[in-house]
Structure formats: C-alpha cells, structure tokens
Amino acid sequence: MKVLGKKPELCIQCHACESTCSNTWFKTDDAEKSCIRIKSSKEDAAKAEITVCTQCGECIDICPVQALTRDKSGVVRIDKKNCVGCFMCVGFCPELAMFMHEDYIEPFKCVACGQCAKNCPTDAIFIVQE
Amino acid sequence: MSIENKQSARRLLKEYAYSLGMIDKGYANRTLYIDLSGNTILEKPVTQEMKDKFTGGKGFGLKYLWDAVTPATKWNDPENEIVIANGPLCGITQYPGSGKSLVVTISPLTNMPVDSNVGGYFGPFLKFSGFDALELQGKADKDVIVFIDGNKGIVRIEEAPVDAADSHVLAEQLTEMFADSEEDKRNISVVSAGSAAEHAYIGLLNFSFYDVRRKAARLKQAGRGGIGTVFRDKKIKALVVKFVGVKGNLNHPADQGTVNRTGIKLHKEIHDLDDKQNRMRKIGTANIIEIMDEYDLLPTHNYKFGRHKDTYKINSYVFQDMVTQGMADGCWFGCSMSCAKAADNFLLKSGPYKGQKVVVDGPEYENAAALGSNIGVFDPQVVMELNFYCDTYALDTISFGTMTAFIMECYENGILNKERTGGLELNFGNAEAALELIHQISRGEGFGKIAGKGVRRMKEYFVKEYGADPAFLNDIGMEQKGLEFSEYMPKESLAQQGGYGLTNKGPQHDEAWLIFMDMVNNQIPTFEDKAEALHYFPMFRTWFGLNGLCKLPWNDITPAGNKYTSEPAKIPEHVQNYVDIFSAVTGKIIDKEELIRQSERVYNFQRLFNIRMGYGKRVHDKIPYRAMGPVTVEEYESRQERYDKQLQELLGYDPVGKSTEEKMKVMRAYREDQYEKLTDAVYKRRGWTPNGVPTLEKLKDLGMDLPEVVKVVENNL
C-alpha cells in the first residue's frame, strides 16, 4: 500500500508541504486547499501535528454512492463524477484528513502523490510502500 | 413477457414536454399538475406569496388540496388530490435527513386532510426535474403509470406496463424497466402502493431508493391516513421519476459554504456520539424498544399495559443481529444517521411469496411495537414477516397493528368469535392468525375486508351487527379523528395525551413526543408549562414538513454539551443549525422565532382546513379513555400501587376499603377533567377559541387572513 508517512518530530512547521499540495492540485497557494495540514500542538507550540490521510479506507463504507474506492496501489480515491457532495466522509474520517472547501462541491484528500515529500526540507513526510 | 418486451409494448396515453429550469435558492418555482380523468398535464408557477405564507412541502400540498376540494369532497371523489411536495431544503445532500417528500390527500379514514412525511429519492428527483410539487387529480379509466424524465423534460401518462400489484415487485420491475443499466438504477425512484390498498382504507405509499450495495430497490413509507388507498382509487399503479446527475449544489443555495459546514458539523457529531447515544446507525429507531418497556410505555395488548415479560425476545439487539450491518443506510444522500435498516435474505414463511428470500425494510420502532407487543407477538421472525407484508401490500404498519390489537381485545371479550372472524382465533399473541388476517386484507376477503377499514368503522360495524356496547368500544378503540394511535402508551402522561389528541391529522407522535419531559423528567409540571410545550413542539416539528426534512437528526443525536443548555429538550444548537441552513439555502434570513411562525401559518391553515371539512373542533380532539387511564379492572390492578397513591396524593381520596370499580370511577373523573383543563390551556396558548377555532386576530398576526380562510373562521365562531 502506498501512503504518505510522517515523522512529526522532524517537522519544522515551514508549511512548504501545504503550499506544494494546493499548488499541485488546485493551482493556488492556500493551506485551506491542501490535502496535508500542519499545525502546532496545543500543549507545545514547538511540536508539530501533521494531518494527512493514512489510506485506512473507513470512508469507503460510509459513501452512499460508492464514489470512494481503493486503487491498485492501495490509495483511496474519490470518483468526482459519482460524488454527490454529501461530505459524510469528511465527518467520519478518523484522521480528520478528508477536507471540504466551499469553492468545491466535492471533498479532497491525499492520494500519496509525493510532491509534498519532495519539497520537505527535513524529511518529516515521505512516501511509504508497504 | 420479459421486461424489455414490456417496455416496447408500453402504451402512451399522453406526453407533455416542458423546458428544463434552474432551481434558485431551494425552489424550482414551478409545480406540476396532472388530471388523470382527462389526461391533462399543466405547469403552475410558484408565487412569492405562496413561499411567504406556505414555505413549501406540506404547506404547498395543503394549499393545493384546499383549492382542489370543497367541504363536500370525499376521499374517493375525483376532485380529491394527492399532492407530493418536497420543500426548499429538500435535496441538499450535506445535512442529514434532507430528502423527504410530504404527501397530502383527503383521507379515507378521517375525511379531512392527512399528511405523511416519507423518505426515498422521489422528492429530491422531482425538484431536480423542475417541480416543487406534484398534484394528482381525477381518476384514470384503467391502471396507469406517470413517468417524469427530469433530464429530457418529458412527462408521460402510460397504461401500466406491468401486472404486479405489490410494491417490492413493482419497484424492482419499474426500476429495471426505466434504467438503461445497473449503474443507471440509482437515478430512478418509484412511488407505488400494493394489493391491500385496493381493499383497505389504511393503504400506504412506498417511495423507493436504489441501494447500490444491496443492488435492490428499497422502500420508505408514507404510512399514515390511507394515501395509498386514494392512489389506487385513482387507478395509479406507480409514479416513476428519473434524474441523472445529482450533485451537492443543485438547489443553488445562497450560501453553499454554510450548508456544507453545518452538515459536516452534524456528521462529526453523529460519528463521535451515536454509538454512545441512540445507536441509530446500527438499529435505527428500534433502539428504544426495551427503553419503552423499561418505562412502562411500550403498548402491549391494545395499550392495556406498557411492558411485557417477553419483550427481551424482540429487543433492539435481537433485531440488530437480523439487519445487515455496515451499510450506508440513508434514505437520501448525506444522511449519516443512516436509520433505514434492512434485513437481507429474509425467508418468508407465509403468503403468496412464501419460500422467497426478500429484503425487509425495517424494523423501525413503530413496527416492532405495532406488530409485536401491541398484538402480543414476541417472535421477531413474525414481526419481520408482518413488516414485510405490510410494506409490500401497502398497509400502514401502525394502523394495522393498532387495529389488530383492537380486534384481539374484542375477540377476548366475546364481541368477536371464530364464527364472526371466519375461523381466525384472534387472541393476543396468535401470530398465525395475524398473518392470515394480513393476507385476507390484501385479497379483500373474509374478515380482512372488515378489518381493513380501520378501528372507527369496525366500532360502528360491531355495534350494528353484533350489538356490542358502544361505550366500551369507544373506550378501547385506539383511534381519534378516525386515525389509529401510533405506538406509545400515553396513559400516564397528560402532556402526551395532548400530544396525541390536540393534533391536526390525528394521534401521531410526529407533532409532539413529550412523555419523557413530562413523566420521567418532570420538566413541565403546570398546565401552562404543558401548553407551552404543546405549542412549541408541534410548531417546531411542523417545520420539518414544510422544508422536506426528517425529524430524527434533530433529537436522535444531541451535541455533547446539550444537557448544560437552558432548554435541553429543544436541542438549541440543532435549532440554530436549521435556522442557518434555511437562511443559507433560501437567502431569506430567519431566526428561531420566525421559524416557529412559518409553521404556525401552515398549522393554523390546516386546522381551519379541518374545520372547513366539518371537523377540527374541540369535540374532535377528545381521545378514548384507554389513552388516558385504566378502562378495565385488570388494567387498574396491574398498576394498583401507582393509582392508589395518585388518588391519595392528588385527590385526597382514601383508597383503603374501596372496590377497584369505585376507585376507577374517581380516577376517571379526575383524568378526564385534567384533559379538559389541558385543552383549555393549549387552545389559549395557540391563539384559538375555547372551541378550538383559530381567531381572526391570530390569523392577522400571522398574515394568514386570506379571504377564504377568514370565511371559515367567521362561519365557525
């Protein structure tokens, strides 16, 4: 299974990943349109929390129209043609890694494309092939 | 003949082409009218005034029905209409419970308007096809179907292309016939009745949605008031709508982001809390079976008792094991509450489909109580089988259960016997007889023919034919206004007696469910408190029906901090959600007070519609004594300690040394007087006269002083 791995302890919160992701998929620099999110831990601002899809697939069973499926490499993908924009997958994601932005009528998520990992200066995120 | 051949043999009676429109902020701004007598098809514009006064959904339905009928119209007159309306929030896919259709007609049971709230895809698809409502008037010569193609802009009336009469077959066959492929089946919704609706007055309508995982057409029911009976009287076999291309923005809301965010907030809440609260996602409304039993509220043996030693055999965990888990069981997209449970591969043991394995849509709580404890049946297999046959034959499970319970009590009291029932031994708990009764109703045969007319007509029949004591039958026959009670025991909660009795369509809990507030939590002790609750909650709940919404996501899940709010019973955060999504979809900014006023406009209109039809006054709001207190010695003595204590504490009446009959008489006088006092308080709070007529001042205040409505008030003051 292909998945984006993470080591939050290495993250310096530069947010380059968010920028790369939103530029890659939505042609804009906007963290709200990124499939990976970096924020400071509530307990210790120096510590980072990385929110990104683990490809666990819980959302697949939630979707009322079977628009969520796992592809050959194990990545959970959204079929935008069939998606009816209910966002149940957003509410039910155990990682809170399925996202909605009001500019779009379908949700979006990490598909482990690896672009962000290439731009991470500390290797805090990386592609894992399990 | 194969489905394909039948499709080519379809005979067209009328085709109507319309231009596709654009939904604007929740409204298609157009409705569809069909007269089956002359095969006339028309479009009607929706005016701003209609939206301001009636909002949509049930409001539109009642307005059209009012215009269509006269005070003399009976349910089977051609001018009677069935109106199916969706409402401005219907069809949004983000907030749970937003796909409901509201159906109104003049009821064969009550002779006045009845309304029913139903899931399935028909309502949203109707709107996406371009219509806020569908009026069906007139009667066809022979069985027809109506087909709406929402992408091509075509409405067709055709001779019914299939012979099947029962819904589970009809929905499958018509879905197959009108879909181009398996993938296309999700774009079809079928409305149909069943064989029993051709004979009984308690016929329902099934609204389908295609379940992509089970690969089956699932059914949701517009159950109450005999709408299916009217449907078959009009010789409508089915309505079929097809719409390809559902997306999350088809309502073109004024503020899509707020709709999305509010929906996601509730999805999260359900994800986090449902397992700890009501387990709606696992077993739906049936989660309360054992809770009702525990609180002595589960109708048992025709509402004599509130619990039974065998309830554990039909508790929610038994049914949880019977229904397939882990499915996305929403009856419209985006319903993460997912309460539309189903048992797969259920083997039928009786009737025309005996030996077949079917999908049973259910059981819901009402089914388990009506088809289980109320008729003394504690076998889950039988409850499920009755559930299946009620649906496919098109019988309202609530009315069927309540009227069977009434029959059983009559049987045990000698009013009925084997000779009179044609051999059916209808004692409480006789599952075989209950099953045979349902099959007889579907065929319009034997005792089933009498039973299917409902409790009110059976009472008249038993008095006339068998010399039964009318006073006793009126005490134990759990109907009011002609409609059978739904499945809660209101005997020990005065507020719930009002919740059932002081309603528009009859004793259905969709207006107010106050038992816990009143009896368990003691939150509304005075008459004024109860009256306030019997104003607020019926109005609040009416609002769901104006907008195409389901009530369940309002209070079958509660936010984590709800109990610390000032009014936990109202679920303030969820009320605000509704204010927010209404404002966001329609662009009309409302607050929680205006929400109630939107309902009051339609509620008072419906009350005056009832009055216009010759009903709807104080005399019609009285309820049978079985709903208020112990009718029989057996009932009194089953709760003697509680009743004796009440006599002493509330009335200063010393029960020691008194016979049960003496005590019952005193108790009855007290409880009946309490109900009258409650009625006074509620009418006052609602702005009605002591006779239950809305006042002109109230109508003016609401902006509902329409000339035709004012005339009804003036004629009845």
Contact status of B183 with chain A (Cβ, < 8 Å) = no
Kindly indicate the confidence band of residue B508, based on its pLDDT and cuts at 50, 70 and 90. very high
Q: Give the pLDDT confidence of A61-91 residue by residue, as tens digits.
A: 999 999 999 999 999 999 999 999 999 999 9
Contact status of B252 with chain A (Cβ, < 8 Å) = no
Ordered alpha helix ranges (H), B274-430? 280-283, 289-294, 316-322, 365-370, 380-393, 397-412
Distance of CA B489 to CAs B74, B333, B383, B434, B527, Å? 32, 34, 19, 22, 20
Nearest residue of B to residue A65 by CA position?
A: B212
Note whether B321 and B465 are same-domain residues.
yes
Kindly indicate the confidence band of residue B162, based on its pLDDT and cuts at 50, 70 and 90. confident
Note whether B167 and B22 are same-domain residues.
yes
Facing residue for B334 by CB, picked from A88, A102, A105: A88
The CATH number of the domain holding residue B183 is: 3.60.9.10
Is the pLDDT confidence value at B6 over 70? no
The span from the CA of B378 to the CA of B368, in Å, is: 9
Q: Which residues pair with B688 in a beta bridge?
A: B694
Q: Give the pLDDT confidence of B198-235 residue by residue, as tens digits.
A: 999 999 999 999 999 999 999 999 999 999 999 999 99
Q: Are strands B30-35 and B133-137 parallel, antiparallel or unpaired?
A: parallel
The pLDDT of residue B448 is 98
**Whole domain around residue B311: which residue ranges?**
274-484
The pLDDT of residue B69 is 98
Task: State the average pLDDT over residues B323-352.
Answer: 96
Kindly indicate the confidence band of residue B520, based on its pLDDT and cuts at 50, 70 and 90. confident
The pLDDT of residue B4 is 59
Q: Give the pLDDT confidence of B290-309 residue by residue, as tens digits.
A: 999 999 999 999 999 999 99
Note whether B346 and B238 are same-domain residues.
no
**Residue B462 within a domain:** yes
The CATH number of the domain holding residue B370 is: 1.10.569.10
Nearest residue of B to residue A64 by CA position?
A: B328
Is the pLDDT confidence value at B581 over 70? yes
Note whether B327 and B231 are same-domain residues.
no
Note whether B416 and B384 are same-domain residues.
yes
B263-B28-B247 Cα angle (round to 5): 40
Average pLDDT of chain B to the nearest whole number: 97
**Residue B263 within a domain:** no
Task: State the average pLDDT over residues B459-473.
Answer: 98
**Residue B404 within a domain:** yes
User: What count of other Cβ atoms lies within 10 Å of the Cβ of residue B312?
Assistant: 13
Kindly indicate the confidence band of residue B7, based on its pLDDT and cuts at 50, 70 and 90. low
Q: Could you identify the residue written with the tokens 């006064």?
A: B53
Pick the last residue of a domain from B220, B242, B264. B242
**Residue B564 within a domain:** no
Note whether B507 and B360 are same-domain residues.
no
DSSP symbols for B159-207: E------SHHHHHHHHHHHH-SSTGGGGGEEEEE--GGGGT-S-B-EEE
Facing residue for B336 by CB, picked from A66, A83, A88: A88
Residues of A with CB under 8 A from a CB of B: 61-66, 83-88, 90-92, 100, 102, 105-106
Note whether B362 and B465 are same-domain residues.
yes
**Residue B269 within a domain:** no
Q: How far is CA B299 from the centre of its chain?
A: 18
CA distance B553 to chain A (A): 14
Note whether B546 and B675 are same-domain residues.
yes
Q: Give the pLDDT confidence of B66-117 residue by residue, as tens digits.
A: 999 999 999 999 999 999 999 999 999 999 999 999 999 999 999 999 999 9
Nearest residue of B to residue A59 by CA position?
A: B328
In a mutational test of the B interface, the residue from A61, A80, A88 whose CB has the highest number of chain B CBs within 10 Å is A88
Domains present along chain A, CATH in parentheses: 2-123 (3.30.70.20)
**Residue B565 within a domain:** no
Note whether B444 and B553 are same-domain residues.
no
The span from the CA of B351 to the CA of B448, in Å, is: 14
Q: Under an 8 A CB cutoff, do A91 and B267 touch?
A: yes
Residues of A in contact with B261 (CB under 8 A): 100, 102
Note whether B298 and B427 are same-domain residues.
yes
Could you tell me which residue, B480 or B5, shows the higher pLDDT? Answer: B480
Note whether B289 and B367 are same-domain residues.
yes
Kindly indicate the confidence band of residue B8, based on its pLDDT and cuts at 50, 70 and 90. low
Domain count of the fold of chain B: 3
ipTM: 0.98
The pLDDT of residue B717 is 87
**Residue B332 within a domain:** yes
Nearest residue of A to residue B329 by CA position?
A: A64
In a mutational test of the B interface, the residue from A80, A86, A102 whose CB has the highest number of chain B CBs within 10 Å is A86
Is the pLDDT confidence value at A39 over 80? yes
Is the pLDDT confidence value at B9 over 80? no
Note whether B531 and B468 are same-domain residues.
no
Task: State the average pLDDT over residues B416-422.
Answer: 98
Facing residue for A85 by CB, picked from B247, B269, B271: B247
A43-A46-A51 Cα angle (round to 5): 75
Nearest residue of A to residue B325 by CA position?
A: A61
Q: Under an 8 A CB cutoff, do B271 and A91 touch?
A: yes
Task: State the average pLDDT over residues B563-589.
Answer: 97
Residues of A in contact with B213 (CB under 8 A): 66
Q: Under an 8 A CB cutoff, do B264 and A87 touch?
A: yes
Facing residue for B93 by CB, picked from A66, A86, A92: A86
Task: State the average pLDDT over residues A119-126.
Answer: 98
**Residue B155 within a domain:** yes
Task: State the average pLDDT over residues B319-327.
Answer: 95
CA distance B105 to chain A (A): 32
The CATH number of the domain holding residue B679 is: 1.10.599.10
CA distance A32 to chain B (A): 13
Q: Which two tokens stand for residue B124?
A: 């949203």
The span from the CA of B106 to the CA of B245, in Å, is: 35
The span from the CA of B548 to the CA of B551, in Å, is: 10
Contact call for residues B228 and B204 (beta carbons, < 8 A)? yes
Facing residue for A65 by CB, picked from B212, B263, B326: B212
Q: Under an 8 A CB cutoff, do A90 and B267 touch?
A: yes
Nearest residue of A to residue B326 by CA position?
A: A61
Pick the last residue of a domain from B185, B218, B242. B242
Pick the last residue of a domain from B460, B484, B508. B484
